[in-house]
Amino acid sequence: MTKASLLNKKFYNGKRVFVTGHTGFKGAWLTQILSELGAVARGYALPAEKNSLFEKIDGAELIDSITGDVRDNDKLTDALVSFDPEIVFHLAAQVTVQDCFNDPFLAFGTNIMGNVNLFEAVRKCNSVKSVVTITTDKVYENKGDGAIYIVGDVLAGADPCSVSNICVEYVADSYKKTYLQTDKSMVGISTVRPSNVIAGGDHVQTRLIPSILNGFALGKPAELRNPGQSRSWQSAIDALNGYMTIARKLIEDPIKYSRPWNIGPTVDGIRSVGDIFEKIRLFFNSSETFEVVQKGAISESETLGLDIEESTELLGWFPELSLDKMLYDLTDYFKRQRQGESEREICLSQIREYFEL
């Protein structure tokens, strides 16, 4: 266990935490982590999708769950202000590149105005001391040259997912400078640019990891759009521990830590889709191969990596799970799930191992 996870284990006990997007994939993992660490949490999100991780872990038993859309300013404000949280995690967003491409109106409305609505609510809630807003590694101007991006690199994009998240970065900075860090207010505010976050329990069958595992289970080749594409692959628990570390640090020193952060794996975690496939195949003990299928309508860069040196040095956070351990855990999750073990218990076993509970 690193110093960050040890401190987080102690810090979050009894803390009042508000989470948007808690019914999503990362939100469900965060819900269970906060519950296990003893936090008092309220979530605000759209209804959980059928067969989602939140539904399978009975997440509504672990968090005060309110159904709502972040585009509904009045309802969001009431949910936050009436709870008096100290810490806010803003995960609610349209995050899939293809989904944002298919419905840009929804993407821009949710990602940009949802973020504006959140900060308007924070302005009305004196208890809030720390706000962490999650964007994406796709905010960087990606030239496909294999660069590893640092926080100071140029932000640029063309597709709705990238552009809407770039706008979120500027919205957060605007509210920080104009309203929330003044003579009358001092709230720590950070944006987080994460890498590809993976773990067991992802129910969206069209995404990479579920499609690979289901192919192995059914004895069929997996369908990959671009096996040569390289990305930063990170454990959901590692990433969430990073978000929680930032929120804790913002309370410690809101001026020093109010800035954007890269949260991703070490260089070992920057691998091609094909490499990820081969490692999961090894842990699954499968002889199946893959088929290359037609790419989606939106073009994605062949390479994308994050430099996390500032995060490790300034936050005292470090990704604790190696690529092999992360892929072993999600493969093990899938096998245990197929054997009938409850999803909540599988999540709990991995969370308890990580935080040494």
263 vs 240: CA distance, rounded Å: 9
Cα distance from N-terminal residue to C-terminal residue, the chain = 11
Output the average pLDDT for the chain. 92
Taking only the tens place, the pLDDT of each residue in 139-161 is 998 776 667 899 999 999 999 99
Q: What domains lie within the chain, and their CATH numbers?
A: 3-355 (3.40.50.720)
More confident residue, 133 or 148: 133
What own/partner pairs with CB < 8 Å and gap ≥ 24 does 103-111 have? 104/160, 107/160, 107/161, 107/164, 108/160, 108/163, 108/164, 108/167, 109/71, 110/69, 110/70, 110/71, 111/164, 111/165, 111/167, 111/168
DSSP letter at 185? -
Per-position b or e across 235-268, b if 16+ CB within 10 A of its CB: bbbbbbbbbbbbbbbbbeebeebbbbbbbbbeee
Is the confidence at residue 350, as pLDDT, over 90? Answer: yes
- What sign does the dihedral 107-110-113-114 (CA atoms) show? negative
| Contacting residues for 270 by C-beta, under 8 A, at least 6 apart | 148, 230, 231, 232, 233, 305
Rounded CA separation 73/300 (Å): 33
Query: Taking 80 as the threshold, does the pLDDT of residue 38 lie above it?
Result: yes
Sort strands 64-67 and 188-194 into parallel, antiparallel or unpaired.
unpaired
> 176: which DSSP letter?
I
Q: Is the pLDDT of residue 228 over 70?
A: yes
Measuring CA to CA, which residue among 270, 243, 253 is closest to residue 148? 270
DSSP 51: T
Quick: pLDDT tens for 242-268. Answer: 999 999 999 999 999 999 999 999 988
DSSP character at residue 96: -
Position 300 confidence tier, pLDDT thresholds 50, 70, 90: low
Please say whether the beta carbons of 226 and 294 come within 8 A. no
Helix (H) or strand (E) holding 104: helix 104-108
Beta-ladder partners of 173: none
Q: How many residues does the chain have?
A: 357
Residue 288 has pLDDT above 90, yes or no: no
Q: Which residues contact 92 (CB under 8 A, 6 or more apart)?
A: 20, 21, 24, 44, 45, 46, 70, 110, 114
pLDDT value of residue 289: 82
Residue 286's Cβ-count burial label (10 Å; 0-12, 13-18, 19+) is: middle
